Each structure stands twice: as C-alpha cells, then as structure tokens.
Amino acid sequence: MDGGKDNVDGTGGGMLDGWKRSGLSNVNSHCSLAEMDGYDMSKLRTKSKLNSERQRSYDERSLSELTSGLSKCLEGYEYAYSPGRASAYSPGSCEWNSFEPHPIFVDAWEALRRCLVNFRGQPVGTIAACDHASEEVLNYDQVFVRDFVPSAMAFLMNGEPDIVKNFLLKTLQLQGWEKKVDRFKLGEGAMPASFKVLHDPVRKTDTIAADFGESAIGRVAPVDSGFWWIILLRAYTKSTGDLSLAETPDCQRGMKLILTLCLSEGFDTFPTLLCADGCSMIDRRMGIYGYPIEIQALFFMALRSALVMLKHDDEGRDFIERIVRRLHALSFHMRSYFWLDFQQLNDIYRYKTEEYSHTAVNKFNVIPDSIPDWLFDFMPGRGGYFVGNVSPARMDFRWFALGNCVAILSSLATPDQASAIMDLLEARWDELVGEMPIKICYPALDGHEWRIVTGCDPKNTRWSYHNGGSWPVLLWLLTAACIKIGRPQIARRAIDIAESRLLKDSWPEYYDGKLGRYIGKQARKYQTWSIAGYLVAKMMLEDPSTLGMISLEEDKLMKPIIRRSSSWTC
C-alpha cells in the first residue's frame, strides 16, 4: 500500500502554532464529556495556554440570540434543542481550555483550505477531492452539496461562517435555475448535486455550471441535496446565532420549494419518501431504490430543521401544519416497520403470509424465506438498527451507517433505539468498523446478487466503494451520534483507528475489504470530506456543545411542537 506522506513531525511550539493557525482557535468547551466517560483529561489539557480566548459558547450565543425575532415563538423549542441541555450532559461546569492535537490535525486543516473554491473572489465551497496525482478527474473538481456539509461544519466550528453563508446563497441561486433532463423538467425545488466554478483567465470572469442529475452517472437527481441544504441552514443559524439569513424571503422560499417536492400528496400509502436508486451518497445502482433509510432519516431531520426556521405567516403556517402531520406519521412508520432487533427478527421469522385486512400482523407481506442467512448470526441478543428499506414484500435487511447515525441525531430513533444502535455497533465492531471507520453498508453484495442488484457494476464489487466499503467521512456522523447518546468512548476508539492511517494514506475517499484494510481500488486521495469528517469528529469530541448544530432532541420537542403548532401566533 502506498504510504503517502509521513506523519507531520510536530511537537511542542511548532505544532501547536500550526494548530492555532489552522483551526480551533476559538472553539469553546463545556466538558461534560469528561465527566461522563472518564476521559483522559490530562491528555486534553495542553501544556501551553492555547485557545484561552473564548467567545461565548456557540450554545450560549444561539440561546440568547434565539430569544429575539423569529425565535421568540420558538423559545421553548430551541431550548429543548440546546446541546448543553441534552440529557446526556450536564451543562458545562468544568473548564478545559484546549487539547493537544494529534499531528495530523494541523495537516488536515491545511489540506482542507487547499480545497477551497472561490467565486468572484469569495469562497463558496470546497471541491470534492484535491488529488493531483489522479488522472481521472471526472467530477471530483466540483463542489458537491453533500460533500460540503462536513467542511461547512468544520468552518462553523472554527468561527468561519462566511463561506457557509456564501455556499447557502450560491446553491439557493442555483435552485432557481430551470432544470431539465432531455425534454423533462425537474421540480422547482431541486437542489444541485454539485456545481463547478469556471474561471476565464482572459476575460477575468467566473461562471458556474451546475449538475442536477442531468450529467450525473445514471442521470439521478440528488434527493439528499435539498435536505442537506436545510440541515446546513439550521446548523449555520445555531452556530452563529444569526437568524437573519434563514429569515430572508429567499431562504424561506428555498425551503418551501424543497418541502413542496417532498410533502406533495399522491398515490403514496406510506409517509416515507419514494426514491430512485442512486439518489443520495450512494449515487450508483445499489438496490436502494424504494424507501432508503438514508433518505428517510435525512427527510425527517430536514423537516424538523425547517420547522424551527419557517416563519409563521399564512403560507408558513400551512407548511408547518403539513410538516407536523408528516413527522408524526413518519416517526411512527419508521420506528415500527424499519426497526429490527432480535425480537423483531424472530417475529418476522415466524410471520404468516398472505394476511388480508386491518388485522394483518405481517402488513407488508414479507416472506420469511427472504431473510438472508447472514442476518441470523449478525443480530446480537442486545442491539438493533433501522433496516435499509421497507416496501411491499421487500425488506432490505442491510445495515447502513449514514441512515442509522442520522436517525439518532434527528431523534427519529427513540432513546432505546439509539442505545440499541450503539450496542449493535459495539457487538459487531469488527464487521462494521474493523480497521477503518466505518462501513457504508453491511454486508456486501456478491456473486449473482451483485450482478442482479448493481447491474454488474465494476466499481461496486464486494467490499468496495458503496458495496461494503469503509468511508472515513462517516466518522463525523458517528462521533456526533456517540456523543449524543452519551457514549463518546466509542467515537474515541474509532477516531484513534482512523488517525493511525488517514494522513499516512493521504486521506483516501474509501477503503476496501471486509475489515477496511486496503485503500479503495479507485479511491481518490486528498478527498475533502474524508479530511473534513475527521476534523469535525475531532473537534466535536473536544467540544461536545457543538453537537447542537447537527442534533435535535426528542420528547421535549415532539410533543410540545405538536401541541403548540396550532396555537403559535407570532
């Protein structure tokens, strides 16, 4: 395996200076984490007095600023969301000002900055990969909406929100474009998968080309982009306390256009969102058509995020009511039918089929013989997860990382389900984490099944790429989920594993193999979201109060929202 760069040699002042320069210089800490899990505090306290300049914590900021304007009517709601008040922590009582960064932390910040893209002099995003050695650029020189999210989180956590704001506004403008695949027009609300800035050195002008699916391999529109956009707008608002952006007519309209696409009524009998294969992070045919968990979890999180940002004018109220109704149905459906644990598996194993009428237990007519063999051994006595997909006579029993982490973060998972997801991760550590966190899905499709389901995709061979490959970018979502449910030690273990290889291997896009030991067959190096994902994981573990940017609390929220929605008057 190609060793890439050596670890940055850095101890003492040199490294610490670099770190200060490259990031975290104004991140704050409430260190309830340390109290929770016997964290090695001595390791985190630096010898130097780094990072001692503190702004108000992001949490404090958002709380105080959210008590004016739009937030007035959401006060109780936002309060329930505040990370410092999440049940897993007691708000910051202890002081630890900084931590000693791993040498690769500095390198990561520098690498991330090298990926910045400017439009007319302003940074508007980060390109997918800065792999100059790769002959095949394809579209990795573009700014992908989903790829930019961890970059955005890193910049927000580092007190650099402008780039995030520029990105949100730029993509909003692109949403306004007319989108066509051949002669067919896409819905107005569709957000691009990616865009590219074209610099004309002669005329000294910058222009933008965007892809809404009309250039993408397989011509699939990215259903996740719009959801990530809404989620990021909330993260920006929470992080900066700047409500004015979300309140602008343009942002309100952008949100409503996205919501119109996914709240429309039709022939659906389920509250989940029906999708084509390849419409999200897994952007090639992988048998995720139907109701993929990744999209359902992002849908849920985006709905909840929009709910706190929509204005309560006539139009806004209508959307709010529709969102509340959908959330209610969606959470019931997901928690009941997508959830799988030992008990549930045993029930399905004993299902009767061909039941008709309202009294049916096996509502979707899942045939027990369709349960794959691997699952019986894989399912621990303690633990569970949301399966990949549920539709008539079809349960995709594969485990998917992103959907399960986002289900925890959005509180789509009940607290018991969230703990069970972590129990399963611990019980099946070798399979799901192995030597590089973390598998995009488990297990891989092989042989005949691979041929039929992927259409013989040579990139998605077993244990490679989307088909059971290991993706470092997912580390940030895993870390956030672990912190949320009070088990940061799991994240620390995963980060330690990633740290031992990522820089040495030059930040690959993905790893291959059952244990994730090999740099992926066609993986790009210097893949931006691998870099940013690591940085965010690291910073979030250092400062758990930042979790609130991406996390939404449960009970306190669902019930009050539903009760209050009819009486909100602001």
Binding site for ligand GLC (CB under 6 A): 128, 144, 146-147, 281, 283
CB 30 within 8 A of CB 545: yes
CB of 213 to ligand GLC, least distance (A): 13
d(CA 399, CA 471): 14
CB of 484 to ligand GLC, least distance (A): 23
Alpha carbon distances (Å) from 526 to 107, 340, 364, 522: 11, 37, 44, 13
d(CA 176, CA 507): 35
Q: Which is nearer to ligand GLC, 8 or 137 (CB)?
A: 137
Q: Which is nearer to ligand GLC, 144 or 300 (CB)?
A: 144
Q: Which is nearer to ligand GLC, 144 or 476 (CB)?
A: 144
Residue 422 burial class via C-beta count within 10 angstroms: exposed 0-12, middle 13-18, buried 19 and up: buried
CB of 128 to ligand GLC, least distance (A): 4
CB 362 within 8 A of CB 337: no
Amino acid at 454: T
Q: Which is nearer to ligand GLC, 81 or 526 (CB)?
A: 526
d(CA 176, CA 196): 16
Q: Which is nearer to ligand GLC, 144 or 507 (CB)?
A: 144
Amino acid at 254: G
Q: Which is nearer to ligand GLC, 331 or 528 (CB)?
A: 528
CB of 281 to ligand GLC, least distance (A): 4
d(CA 544, CA 213): 36
CB of 528 to ligand GLC, least distance (A): 8
Q: What are the tokens at 504?
A: 């040495």
Alpha carbon distances (Å) from 164 to 236, 409, 442: 7, 21, 33
Report the helix count and the strand count for the chain, using DSSP H and E. Answer: 23, 13
Q: Which is nearer to ligand GLC, 147 or 512 (CB)?
A: 147
Q: Which is nearer to ligand GLC, 277 or 283 (CB)?
A: 283
CB of 413 to ligand GLC, least distance (A): 23
CB of 277 to ligand GLC, least distance (A): 13
Alpha carbon distances (Å) from 152 to 30, 263, 390, 483: 22, 27, 32, 19
Number of neighbours of residue 205 by Cβ within 10 angstroms? 10
CB of 535 to ligand GLC, least distance (A): 16
CB of 253 to ligand GLC, least distance (A): 26
d(CA 502, CA 104): 8
Q: What are the tokens at 409?
A: 């973060």
CB of 482 to ligand GLC, least distance (A): 22
- The verdict on whether omega for the bond into residue 438 sits within 30 degrees of 0, i.e. cis, is yes
Please give, one letter per residue, the 3-state secondary structure of 343-373.
HHHHHHHCCCCCCCCCCCCCCCCCCHHHCCH
Closest CA to 145 of 162, 130, 129, 167: 167
CB 93 within 8 A of CB 32: yes
Q: Which is nearer to ligand GLC, 283 or 457 (CB)?
A: 283
CB of 222 to ligand GLC, least distance (A): 8
Q: Which is nearer to ligand GLC, 109 or 144 (CB)?
A: 144
d(CA 95, CA 32): 10
CB of 160 to ligand GLC, least distance (A): 22
CB of 440 to ligand GLC, least distance (A): 9
CB of 178 to ligand GLC, least distance (A): 24
Q: Which is nearer to ligand GLC, 129 or 261 (CB)?
A: 129
d(CA 282, CA 212): 16
Q: Which is nearer to ligand GLC, 289 or 342 (CB)?
A: 289
Number of neighbours of residue 389 by Cβ within 10 angstroms? 25
Residue 150 burial class via C-beta count within 10 angstroms: exposed 0-12, middle 13-18, buried 19 and up: buried
- Write the DSSP assignment of 503-519 as a string of letters: TTTT--S-EESTTS-EE
Closest CA to 454 of 289, 290, 294, 287: 287
With CB atoms as reference, the residue minimizing the distance to ligand GLC is 128
Q: Which is nearer to ligand GLC, 128 or 537 (CB)?
A: 128
Q: Which is nearer to ligand GLC, 172 or 281 (CB)?
A: 281
